[in-house]
Amino acid sequence: MNLVGYLQKATTYLERHGVASPRLDAELLLASLLGISRLDIYTGFERMLSESEAADYRELLVRRAQGWPLQYLTGETGFRGVRLEVRPGVFIPRPETEVLVESALEVLPEGEIDVIDLCCGCGNVAVSMAAERVGARVLAVDSEPIAVELTARNAEANGVGGRVRAVKGDLFGPLLTPGEDEARFHAVISNPPYVPSGCLESLPVEVRDHEPPTALFAGEDGLDVIRRIVDEAPRFLLPAGWLVLELDESHAEAVIELLRAGMSSGRAEWTESSVELIEDLTGRPRVARACLAR
């Protein structure tokens, strides 16, 4: 059986198991297995699979049918024009997070800037920002060692290893070195965990059973990590520095209230006109943004 024959059988199998895009997934899994492009499958369709290749392909298809995320099976994903390695144990970048990067880039000054990316995962935000803004230096922080490792690897693979530094730590923890001046940044950016802890069963099986809980859940209302970032960020921002946070649409007003509460209590001097919500392409609130007073 040639490659097209395998694709036809694979598509039918995935479709029968309720996979949303069976033909595309079958193509991507086969291309990844063979180290070729999707187009190469069709231009070289006469090729036969060896016994070991056929067995490996069947295993990939079974795992995909069981709910394994496609990106974990192929080992990579795309984000704003960069290719990123992903593995189990690290959150898979979503397209909507591109709005987070865009929301930061459009307000940050040109030239050299220092940015800290909290909860960096595989480094999609840090790497894409450094790739798109040649003067950007990004400190990427995550509590999971595998995330730190992948961010460093992805930065090197995309040619920005000299401007992205990945470190292990709890949010701003790596900056709190006794006896040293605290670093200040032009922007604090984060796509933090924001799923309420009681929502586990409502998540898709791909997320619930395979993606890391530490990248998903943030307390009873999903705001535990965001509260900490909003409270601590002003300490590490330069005057006129920006805080840019991804959020769930259900948290939009609550996050704006957190920002305004910091203003009213004197803990943070955000400029009133800068505190805003930014919508994604579907019209849902996706990012909260605020600028520290000069």
CB atoms within 10 A of CB 21: 13
Give the active site residues: 91, 191-192
Task: List, in order, residues 6 or more apart from 160 with CB less than 8 Å away.
Answer: 127, 130, 131
- How far apart are the C-alpha atoms of 268 and 173, rounded to whole Å? 19
Rounded CA gap, 126 and 232, in Å?
A: 20
Tell me the whole-structure pTM to 2 decimals: 0.91
d(CA 49, CA 51): 6
Tell me the C-alpha distance between 161 and 153, whole Å: 8
| Structure token digits, residue 261 | 């509460």
**CA 242/CA 190 separation, integer angstroms:** 11
- Which of 72, 66, 61 has its CA nearest to residue 26? 61
Give the integer Cα–Cα distance in Å for 168 and 120: 10
List the pLDDT tens digit at each of the 294 positions of the chain.
Answer: 889 899 999 999 999 999 999 999 999 999 999 999 998 888 887 888 999 999 999 999 999 999 999 999 999 999 999 999 999 999 999 999 999 999 999 999 999 999 999 999 999 999 999 999 999 999 999 999 999 999 999 999 999 999 999 999 999 999 987 655 678 999 999 999 999 988 888 888 889 889 999 999 999 999 999 999 999 999 999 999 999 999 999 999 999 999 998 877 777 789 988 999 999 999 999 999 999 987
- C-alpha 209/C-alpha 188 separation (Å) is 30
Look-up of token digits 């307390």: 219
